[in-house]
Structure 1
Amino acid sequence: MDLLYLILSKLSIPDLFRCAAVCSRWFVLVDEVCRSHDDQHPQIPWLVPESRIHINGENNVRNTYDFFSLSEDREYDIPSHPPHILKKIVGSSYGWLITTDKVSIAQLINPITGVQIDLPSIPTMHNWNLEARKAVLSSDPSRCGDYKVVFVFFCLHELKNFLFFVSAGDEKWTMIPERLYYYANIAFHDGKLYAVSKSKENKKLIVGAYDLSVPNSIPTRVRVADLPYIKNFTFSMCFFCTSSDDLLIVRATIEKVSEHHLKKIKVWKVDTNNGVIIPMNNLGKYALFIGLTSSLCLDTSSLPDLKSNSIYILNYLGESVVYNMEDKSFTSLNLPLLSSPMRPVLVWFTLSCAF
């Protein structure tokens, strides 16, 4: 049984669940693997549409999450749990989907285990509704009870973004007061929240850090570094990726609207101690997965199906490609429609069966 446990701990989660159906003894062992966080094998990311429709009226016809397994090249329909409402995924961390509805509901959902955690109702700004643009988790709620959730909200009335966070068990949101009006991306690293942001007075992109660990205090931004300014570009987006040791920034740039294709990919490592960013030309054994609402950095040593030293770029202005850091080439990533007549915005999602 010890040998079987060792084998099970090296399987993908779909194969793990298939093994649980063999017999009662295997089911018990699979349950033990799921409850042991440190023994679970790294998982190749899945894809899930940003929004989905549930049975809650005559216009809604489905009650499942539609996932696509990159390694198996197949779709999975996973039943959802009440409430069956239209939800939008604004983030994905540690095997949890961070979701909102059109008005006020915000939740953390693990679609594999079915666990849901309700967050406080979405705040308003001077009685104006806020739209969630992106959200991140500080840690895995299934492993610790002191996690935090940070949201980037957009206020249409003020044409400005706002940062709000909530700690586990809080009944209301805390706003981080800032003069900045735009947040390109946010991420947790080494216990702090990092943001790539911009002020109206200065067009430079600023990398700032916020310490959210001090109770009953309003976090202030510590300026870490500035990103190089680029001229004559049409569209540019920045993404954070974090490994166990490093905080990385990826910038993807389109130079001409008529071409509508990615032309430049730049990667920097953020030296948080010295306040500088260091250009990177090689990711080594790592692969990055970046998208509008989620980004990942994975060690490919135990995941041979992934391309090391590469960046998987998802649904960036309609494109899904793999960028090779070595020869600077782009390869199309063919993805399914996932039960939609139009290609939806997709989100990277790493599975977790942890309880």
Structure 2
Amino acid sequence: MQNNILLRGSCFGWLISTSIDGVVQMFNPLTNASYDLPPLSTSPTIVDYHPELKVEEYTIIRFEFDGSTYTTLERRSSIQKIWLIKIVISSSPSEDMMVLAIYGEYKCLAWCKFGDTKWTDFFTSEKFKIVLQDAIFYEGKVYALNCNSQLYKFDVTTSIRVITQVPKPNDPYITVNIRYFVQNIEGDLLMVSRFLNHHEVPGIDDP
């Protein structure tokens, strides 16, 4: 990918990227077909966009611990890196296609359908946000996994429901643990845990 393009997903043969100019695009490298998704500027909690400024183009909403909010200005390079972190699609572009995006500093979940011009927050009715690590379409439902290893199952018309607490590996040396979904060739939904073991090496830090 070019330096000003970030890859945010790969599904059904399509690559999904965000550009420094806020364009969100699906591209099929085999057919050269492309399809534009709603731009970064329409993401939840982005309240204004001024591309003519070329410095701090985005006005975003931030949340305090007491539930209050305030707005700040952000550079487009920062928004490109953190606002749409991962994007998955339910199918190739068609009238039935639905798109999920993990977005923002709090890793919430947004969605759009084929032909939509903006992203919609899944959790507009929730008091607290869910800090997600991954999301996937599976058997007609949406599954999501948060940073505390809680597994969720929901759709756009029903309430969010916690299914189970996924056991964490019992390893005191784990300092980085990233969990994500994969679907194997048998059609089973699996959780993969990728982690970094940090062990002290004698002599490395000795003066």
Q: Does TM, scored on the shorter chain, surpass 0.5?
A: yes
2:202 pairs with 1:251: no
Partners in 1 of 2:195 and 2:26 — Cα distance? 32
Q: Could you say what secondary structure the match of 2:107 adopts?
A: strand
Greater RCO between the two (CA within 8 Å, min separation 6)? 1
Query: Are the counterparts in 2 of residues 137 and 150 from structure 1 also a CA contact under 8 Å?
Result: yes
2:116 pairs with 1:170: yes
2:166 pairs with 1:224: no
Equivalence for 1:234: 175
Equivalence for 1:194: 143
Pairing 1:286-325 to 2, within 5 Å after superposition? none
What is the one-letter code of the residue matched to 2:96?
D
CA shift for structure 1 position 181 = 4.3
Q: Could you say what secondary structure the match of 2:104 adopts?
A: strand
Partners in 2 of 1:185 and 1:121 — Cα distance? 21
* Greater mean deviation of Cα atoms: 163-172 or 99-108: 99-108
In structure 2, relative to structure 1, the CA distance for the partners of 1:173 and 1:239 (3 Å cut) is: same
CA shift for structure 1 position 103 = 4.3
Write the deviation string for residues 246-297 of structure 1: whole angstroms up to 9, x where unpaired: 11111123231657xxxxxxxxxxxxxxxxxxxxxxxxxxxxxxxxxxxxxx
Query: Are the counterparts in 1 of residues 44 and 110 from structure 2 also a CA contact under 8 Å?
Result: no
Structure ID, larger Rg: 1
In structure 2, relative to structure 1, the CA distance for the partners of 1:103 and 1:235 (3 Å cut) is: same
1 or 2, which has the higher strand percentage?
Answer: 2
Pairing 1:1-355 to 2, within 5 Å after superposition? 51-53=1-3, 86-122=4-40, 123-125=43-45, 126=47, 127-128=59-60, 129=79, 131-141=83-93, 144-155=94-105, 160-177=106-123, 178=126, 179-198=128-147, 204-212=148-156, 214=157, 220-229=159-168, 230=170, 232=172, 233-243=174-184, 245-256=187-198
Partners in 2 of 1:131 and 1:258 — Cα distance? 35
Structure 1 runs, 4 residues or longer, greater than 3 Å off: none
Partners in 2 of 1:182 and 1:102 — Cα distance? 25
1 or 2, which has the higher helix percentage?
Answer: 1
In structure 2, relative to structure 1, the CA distance for the partners of 1:236 and 1:100 (3 Å cut) is: same
Query: Are the counterparts in 1 of residues 22 and 39 from structure 2 also a CA contact under 8 Å?
Result: yes
Query: Are the counterparts in 2 of residues 234 and 257 from structure 1 also a CA contact under 8 Å?
Result: no
Partners in 1 of 2:165 and 2:21 — Cα distance? 35
The number of aligned residues is 161
What is the one-letter code of the residue matched to 2:117?
E
Partners in 2 of 1:209 and 1:258 — Cα distance? 40
Please report the TM-score for the alignment, with normalisation by the length of structure 2: 0.69
Query: Are the counterparts in 2 of residues 180 and 197 from structure 1 also a CA contact under 8 Å?
Result: no
Question: Which consecutive residues of structure 2, in runs of 5 or more, have no partner in the other structure?
Answer: 48-58, 61-78, 202-207
Query: Are the counterparts in 2 of residues 176 and 220 from structure 1 also a CA contact under 8 Å?
Result: no
CA shift for structure 1 position 164 = 0.7
Write the deviation string for residues 174-223 of structure 1: whole angstroms up to 9, x where unpaired: 1011524421111111011111114xxxxx310001213x4xxxx53111
Equivalence for 1:17: none
Partners in 1 of 2:199 and 2:141 — Cα distance? 36
Partners in 1 of 2:164 and 2:118 — Cα distance? 31
Question: Which consecutive residues of structure 1, in runs of 5 or more, have no partner in the other structure?
Answer: 1-50, 54-85, 199-203, 260-355
What is the one-letter code of the residue matched to 1:208?
Y
Please report the TM-score for the alignment, with normalisation by the length of structure 1: 0.42
